[in-house]
């Protein structure tokens, strides 16, 4: 099917095919109409703005996307309690309320975009483009299907999104901040401080005497989380990936040849030439110089007579595209090695060029890259087989078979994970071997339980993973006797930091009472240092971000303490000088204006949305929201 699609999109037929596809999309929109995605689910809403509702399904989908994004950033899954403690649920709700607010207002203003525009955006969406750079309707339908979106809902969201974009562009598009704001912004961002400081000598934790078992036990009880094993789960997985099926996929030879020709530039190494150029201001000067070269005068001598050194005339080893003037480029690449050109009237003057040497270009032949191209195309072709296997697995599960039985029957890759925590580590804290790098997998596995049938998890490479929770090992506090050494180590580390902070605060107090930094340094046998002037954003300061912020909130002469850049480091400093911002060079001023405009647009946008919400009214169904998290209250 895909081969037929590719073959049909050549030449005139391509225009007809894509035109028909484009018309099909528009025709589909006309049949469906554009339903409001916030109200089309027919289920309980969690919030509403005016007449626009936010459904529980919409909230759940957005919440899961946000958790996946955070998991990618943190390198681990957040627990439900951690996510709510960080306010992920409220942040997602605010985002959905903002979209609902703008959707509601766009409807009131009767803003819309044409079906043709939406179809154009869908056809151009990179996620729906095949290996040949063309819209793939099967890929489109597959991605929507496994993203839990109907085609009508997806199209509706695209149309609503475009209408909201019209609205926001009207509010804050092409906004230019006033000069007085830019000056204030520069004064704040560009203000500088100079400090003198000392780094406190590290305390050797091993030198600290340990307290008795009573005090260590008390410390152990206060830090139970540090000595508790994580919850572990044993999993059975079966997996289907397009890459696993490529060995049996037949890629037509003509497709490989077409792909090679379409991407031929990727397999080419351009010819390079070592080129010298003498540039003259007039045709007469160039003709005279060329006459000298023709009668035997050395090229370098002629260049020297014209006032150029060897480095002045050397363009280096260049490709034809590297030479900016096309006339000179063409002339240079028409010469043989050692040859000198006639005078060339270029854009910047009249030039004479010499080619010292030539490094021929190369082209990797099709025979050399055939397997590479076949593999790349093959990854795009087995999607039908993946979907067929997906359906067969689901049929087997509906018949009551477990994943072990299904994997053996269908000859699918099966993994037995003896134990993993939420971060993909085993009971010893080591990374679990062969665990698929799919963030949603562990999150969903830890939201499930033994005996629960779970939906397949889609992978980033358009494959699927099915999982069963085989066993759950609850978190367990390790007995004190088994971790006494770990408790002692953590107690010493904690005491080290406490003593360093106490020492730093004592030195700050003495400094603010009249002692000099030099005197404080002498007392603890360290050398005082003076910083270079730094701003709030200078990345190379030897101080923690919180200490930098404190420096800019205090006056010259003030002593402060805080963390250094290195772990466990404590710094005591005195603010020596406060310097005004420099006047910005032209380029930096443009950057500042862009940043200020961005901040101003955000402020206007937030105020506009807040005003609409105050006018239209916002209500949140707290009981429905809590029910999504298993909290009946």
The answer as to whether 182 is a domain residue is no
Contact 574, 511 (CB under 8 A): yes
Show Cβ contacts of residue 430 under 8 Å, excluding neighbours closer than 6 positions.
none
**Could you give the CA distance from residue 550 to residue 623 in angstroms, rounded to a whole number?**
42
Tell me the CATH number at 278: 3.10.50.40
Q: Give the residue among 379, 402, 419, 486 at the shortest CA–CA distance from 130.
A: 379
Position 623 in a domain:
yes
Pairing of strands 618-620, 344-345: unpaired
Q: Are residues 168 and 218 in the same domain?
A: no
CB 192 within 8 A of CB 579: yes
Pair (422, 488) in one structural domain: no
In a domain, 387, yes or no: yes
* Partners of residue 351 on adjacent β-strands: 279, 344
34 and 144 together in one domain: yes
Alpha-carbon distance of 531 to 540, in angstroms, equals: 10
Whether residues 38 and 164 fall in one domain: yes
C-beta pairs of 565-571 under 8 Å, 24+ apart in sequence: 565/541, 568/202, 568/496, 568/497, 568/500, 569/199, 569/200, 569/202, 570/199, 570/200, 570/500, 570/501, 570/503, 570/504, 571/197, 571/198, 571/199, 571/200, 571/504, 571/542, 571/543, 571/547
DSSP state of 536: T
Q: Which helix (H) or strand (E) element contains residue 568?
A: none
SS3 string, 459-483, reads CCCCCEEEEEEEEEECCEECCHHHH
328 and 291, same domain (yes or no): yes
Indicate if 154 and 245 belong to the same structural domain: no
Statement to judge: residues 72 and 167 lie in one domain = yes
Q: How far apart are the C-alpha atoms of 60 and 444, rounded to whole Å?
A: 13
Work out the widest C-alpha separation in the chain, in whole angstroms: 102
What local confidence, expressed as pLDDT, does residue 382 receive?
Answer: 59
Nearest Cα neighbor of 445 from 630, 143, 237, 147 is: 237
Predicted local confidence at residue 118, as pLDDT = 81
Mean pLDDT of the chain: 82
Is the pLDDT score of 632 beyond 60? no
343-352, 389-398, 610-619, 622-631: the lowest-pLDDT one? 622-631
Q: Are residues 133 and 208 in the same domain?
A: no
Predicted pLDDT at 32: 35
Residues 47 and 161 in one domain: yes
Query: Is the domain of 465 the same as that of 489?
Result: no
Q: Which helix (H) or strand (E) holds 56?
A: helix 56-74
Rg (CA), the chain: 34
Share of the chain above pLDDT 70, in %: 87
Please report, in angstroms and rounded to a whole number, the separation of the first and last CA atoms in the chain: 53
- For residue 65, what are the contacts with CB-CB under 8 A and spacing of at least 6? none
pLDDT above 50 (res 622): yes
369: pLDDT strictly greater than 50: yes
Per-residue pLDDT reduced to its tens digit, 1-47: 233 333 333 332 233 233 333 333 433 333 333 333 333 333 478 89
**DSSP E strands, 439-567:** 457-458, 464-473, 476-477, 529-530, 559-563
Considering the domain architecture, whether residues 160 and 69 belong to the same structural domain is answered as yes
Domain that holds residue 126: 29-174+616-628
């Amino acid at each position: 099917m895909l081969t037929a699609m590719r073959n049909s999109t050549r030449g005139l037929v391509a225009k007809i095919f894509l035109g028909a596809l484009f018309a099909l999309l528009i025709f589909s929109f006309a049949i469906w109409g554009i339903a409001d995605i916030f109200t089309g689910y027919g289920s309980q809403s969690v919030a509403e703005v005016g007449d626009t509702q936010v459904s529980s399904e919409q909230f759940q989908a957005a919440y899961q996307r946000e958790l996946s994004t955070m998991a990618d950033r943190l390198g681990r899954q957040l627990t439900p309690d951690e996510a709510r403690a960080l306010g992920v649920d409220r942040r997602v709700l605010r985002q959905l309320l903002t979209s609902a607010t703008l959707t509601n207002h766009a409807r009131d203003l009767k803003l819309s975009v044409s079906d043709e525009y939406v179809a154009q955006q869908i056809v151009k969406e990179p996620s729906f483009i095949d290996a040949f750079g063309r819209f793939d309707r099967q890929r489109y339908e597959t991605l929507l299907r496994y993203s839990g979106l109907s085609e009508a809902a997806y199209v509706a969201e695209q149309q609503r999104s475009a209408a909201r974009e019209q609205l926001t562009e009207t509010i804050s598009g092409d906004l230019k901040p006033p000069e007085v704001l830019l000056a204030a912004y520069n004064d704040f961002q560009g203000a500088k401080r100079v400090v003198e400081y000392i780094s406190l000598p590290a305390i050797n934790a091993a030198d600290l005497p340990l307290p008795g078992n009573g005090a260590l036990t008390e410390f152990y009880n206060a830090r139970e989380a540090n000595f508790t094993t994580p919850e572990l789960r044993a999993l059975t997985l079966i997996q289907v990936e397009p890459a696993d099926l490529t060995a049996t996929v037949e890629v037509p030879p003509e497709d490989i040849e077409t792909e090679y020709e379409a991407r031929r530039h990727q397999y080419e190494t351009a010819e390079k030439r070592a080129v010298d150029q003498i540039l003259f201001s007039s045709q007469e000067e160039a003709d005279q110089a060329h006459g000298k070269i023709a009668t035997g005068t050395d090229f370098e001598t002629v260049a020297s007579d014209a006032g150029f050194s060897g480095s002045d005339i050397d363009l280096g080893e260049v490709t034809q595209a590297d030479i900016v003037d096309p006339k000179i480029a063409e002339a240079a690449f028409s010469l043989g090695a050692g040859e000198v050109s006639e005078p060339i009237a270029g854009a910047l003057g009249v030039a004479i060029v010499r080619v010292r040497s030539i490094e021929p270009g190369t082209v990797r032949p099709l025979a050399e890259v055939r397997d590479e191209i076949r593999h790349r195309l093959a990854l795009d072709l087995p999607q039908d087989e993946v979907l067929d296997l997906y359906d067969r697995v689901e049929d087997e599960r509906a018949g009551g078979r477990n994943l072990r039985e299904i994997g053996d029957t269908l000859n699918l890759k099966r993994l037995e994970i003896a134990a993993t925590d939420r971060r993909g580590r085993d009971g010893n804290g080591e990374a679990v071997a062969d665990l698929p790098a799919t963030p949603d997998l562990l999150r969903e596995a830890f939201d499930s339980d033994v005996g629960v049938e779970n939906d397949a998890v889609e992978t980033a490479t358009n494959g699927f993973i099915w999982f069963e929770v085989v066993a759950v090992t609850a978190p367990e506090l390790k007995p004190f006797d088994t971790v006494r050494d770990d408790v002692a180590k953590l107690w010493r580390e904690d005491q080290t930091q406490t003593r360093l902070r106490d020492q730093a605060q004592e030195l700050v107090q003495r400094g603010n009472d009249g002692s000099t930094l030099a005197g404080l340094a002498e007392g603890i046998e360290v050398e005082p240092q003076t910083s270079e002037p730094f701003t709030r954003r200078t990345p190379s300061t030897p101080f923690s971000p919180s200490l930098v912020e404190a420096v800019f909130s205090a006056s010259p002469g003030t002593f402060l303490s805080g963390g250094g850049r290195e772990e466990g480091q404590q710094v005591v400093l005195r603010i020596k000088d406060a310097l005004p911002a420099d006047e910005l060079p032209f380029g930096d001023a443009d950057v500042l204006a862009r940043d200020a405009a961005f901040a101003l647009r955000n402020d206007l946008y937030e105020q506009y949305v807040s005003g609409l919400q105050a006018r239209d009214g916002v209500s949140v169904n707290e009981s429905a929201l809590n029910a999504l998290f298993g909290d009946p209250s």
